[in-house]
Amino acid sequence: MLLQVVRYFFYNGEEYVVLGDAQQEDDCGCHCGECEHSCDEDDEEPVNLYIMKVVQSGDDEETEEFVPVEDEDLLEKLIEVVQTDFEKESELDDEE
């Protein structure tokens, strides 16, 4: 599974990251890179999102580790924060 960073955010002084499935350059499903399929932009496939805690690795401040959030109550709050953030962003996009 290949994931990409969707967004970093802070909650209660801790840094978290939203990871999503990495999008392939070709949307046809065959992944050959040579097809010229017409894709309907309104057809949005569901994307799996994952919320992980960001932890600095060792002495190197540039290296990060993403670790699962083990506290279920905290995870529920983080999901609410991310959903609210995405909804606000969607509303702003609709206004433009």
Mean pLDDT check: name the lowest of 22-26, 49-53, 65-69: 22-26
pLDDT confidence bin for 43, thresholds 50/70/90: low
How far are the Cα atoms of 34, 35, 49, 59, 81 from residue 9, in angstroms, in the given order?
37, 37, 14, 22, 9
Q: Residues of the chain with pLDDT > 70: what percent? A: 73
d(CA 51, CA 6) in angstroms, rounded, equals 10
pLDDT above 70 for 37: no
CA distances from 62 to 9, 41, 57, 65 (A): 17, 37, 8, 10
